[in-house]
Amino acid sequence: MGKFRRSLGLFALVMLVGLLAFGASNVTQPAATISTGRGQGVVDMVTGANGTTVYALTAFLDNNSLKIVDTTTDKVVKTCPVGSMLDTTNIDVGSKGVFVADHGADKISLLDLSECAEKGYKPTEWDVSAFCDGPYDVKSIGDKVYVTCSLSDNLAILDSSGKLADSIPLGHGPRNEGLFSSWGQRWLLIANYYDWTASLINLSTNEVVKTLNTGPYPYDVITAADKFFGHVLCSVGDKDTIIDTASRKVWRTCGTYANPISGVAGQGDLSGYIFIGAEFGNPASDTYGLEGTIQVATVFGPIVKNFQVGRNPTALALTPDGKLLVGYNEGNIDVYDVAKLLP
């Protein structure tokens, strides 16, 4: 009986290894993998103004940090401790440094990139609890910082010292925001998660000029500074709602699949594409649930390519020279050469 049990256990182990190997074989292999450290899941990423530096916010329990990645070498060149945060969500890079939104502690942290890696450094913290409950996304634009407040349903506009300059009512549960320019003006497009809407805001007047219906539970927003189309990803229902920002209308709704949770717009030669990270793989795949998917769509909507990556691609970043960085909830960042993946 003991031999039978040992044989059965060995058989089960062989089958498990075979199944995992089969699942791994369907995942597109990256050009490089960047380690984020043990347990350090990637929360958000943004590409710096120089086009070769990517800033990645990683988190594990109370050990949060900002990883600064040099994409010319695909290595982390600096790590800045962010410290204990209850629920970090999004980051943005401004002239003063990197801003981090802490949804759980109602604060915005500002990291000085010239000093943040030094021993004992502590970021500047702005307490926004008096006017912003549940800060979710943060955008640094000029001398202002725009923060979506997911529990108080407003957009808080802060001055360079963290004081409230203005507040704009939004829909219920605002999440991510995207910046774009058109007709000589700058605009924000913000997803309102529980209302199933998106708010279009003119930054010249700080007014909501239009509220547009989206699919169920809009979560992420993909915009490019010089594009007239904004994409609102709906994490439930697998929809990509495409908004014509010039006419302020929903232009079309396209199907995605597998719970889209992240996205980025193409730049340069890739400006005609958007890249969508989905939590799971292709439902038709034999390894569905064991991997995630990157879906490549044109700015006008149709998905033209998809490829399998690791599970839960929570953050995407793209460089002007065509490197796509995919960060995962479980940790690490994969680097892909987009030119080799496009149809």
- The pLDDT tens digits of the residues spanning 273-331 come to 889 898 876 656 655 556 888 988 888 777 888 888 988 899 999 998 899 999 998 88
| pLDDT for the residue 16 | 38
Q: What residues make up the domain containing 274?
A: 34-81+260-343
Model confidence at 40: pLDDT above 50: yes
Q: Flag whether pLDDT at 3 surpasses 60.
A: no
Percent residues over pLDDT 70 in the chain: 83
How far apart (Å, rounded) are the C-alpha atoms in residues 43 and 107? 17
CA dihedral 239→242→243→247, nearest 10 degrees, is: -140
Query: What is the pLDDT at residue 9?
Result: 43
Across all residues in the chain, what is the average pLDDT? 83
pLDDT, residue 17, reads: 38
- Determine, yes or no, domain membership for 195: no
Distance of CA 75 to the CA centre of its chain: 20
For 165-218, the pLDDT digits (tens) are 999 999 999 998 888 766 667 889 999 999 999 999 999 999 999 999 988 888
Q: Which tops the pLDDT comparison, 12 or 113? A: 113
Residues 95-116 have pLDDT tens digits of: 999 999 998 889 999 999 999 9
Average pLDDT (78-99) is: 84
Residue 56 lies in a domain: yes
251 within domain boundaries: no
d(CA 90, CA 314): 11
Q: Which two tokens stand for residue 28?
A: 């597109």
Tell me whether residue 177 is in a domain.
no
Residue 275 lies inside a defined structural domain of this protein? yes
Tally of domains in the chain: 1
- Report yes or no on 339 lying in a domain: yes
Which tens digits make up the pLDDT trace of 178-193? 887 666 678 899 999 9
pLDDT at 187: 86
Q: CA 190, 263, 99: angle at the middle one, nearest 5?
A: 65
Q: How confident is the model at residue 84 (pLDDT cuts 50, 70, 90)?
A: low
- 21 pLDDT more than 60: no
User: How do beta strands 32-34 and 229-234 pair?
Assistant: unpaired
Q: How confident is the model at residue 7 (pLDDT cuts 50, 70, 90)?
A: very low
User: Which residue has better confidence, 39 or 3?
Assistant: 39
